[in-house]
Amino acid sequence: MRCPKCTSIEDKVIDSRISKEGNTIRRRRECLECGNRFTTTESLVRDGMIVIKRDGRREDFVREKLNHAVRAACHKRPVDAEQMTMLVEDVIDVLEAQYESEIPSQAIGDAVMQRLRRIDQVAYVRFASVYKEFRDVGEFVDEISSLGKPKPGNAEGGTR
């Protein structure tokens, strides 16, 4: 791994931790050249997943696009990086279990929204406003109003 400070590739691992779900490993490293400490994350490479877009186009699943969308929704919200990482990992795990190799983009968006709704309602509304392509303020207000109502199949009566 290249040091972000001096670009040396000589380093040593000083700590490794496996995530709760076992999907990723966080490694703390120290550069042998300059002594800089930095963190890396290893995750399983998932090959062959295809996203079926709303218009029927097919494209390779790109984890970074999903990460970016979640980070944008959670920008300046009290959602830490680990929560976002776990959300993305959970979405991917669920979708891989549910679909063979072709995943509808709607399933990805719905899975993200379901999890964001539980984590942070503002992040949920941000994501929903882009994903659902609201055409006017009325649709936006309706979505916000629905946050206080129980989701179908949710006996708890809310998301708090």
Q: What is the pLDDT of residues 86-123, one digit of tens each?
A: 899 899 989 988 998 899 999 999 999 999 999 999 99
CA dist., res. 71 & res. 40, Å (int): 18
Instruction: Specify which residues 77 forms β-bridges with.
Output: none
For 73-96, write each residue's pLDDT tens digit: 999 999 998 899 889 989 998 998
- For the cut 60, the answer to whether the pLDDT of residue 156 exceeds it is no
**What separation, in Å, do the N-terminal and C-terminal C-alpha atoms of the chain show?**
42
pLDDT at 155 over 50: no
What 3-state DSSP class applies to 111? helix
Domain boundaries, the chain: 7-44, 47-146
29-46 per-position pLDDT tens digit? 999 999 999 999 887 766
Residues 6+ apart with CB under 8 A from 118: 159
Tens digit of each residue's pLDDT (9 = 90 or more) over 43-80: 776 667 899 999 999 999 988 999 999 999 999 999 99
Tokens for 139?
């649709």
Q: Which residue has the tokens 């998932």?
A: 46
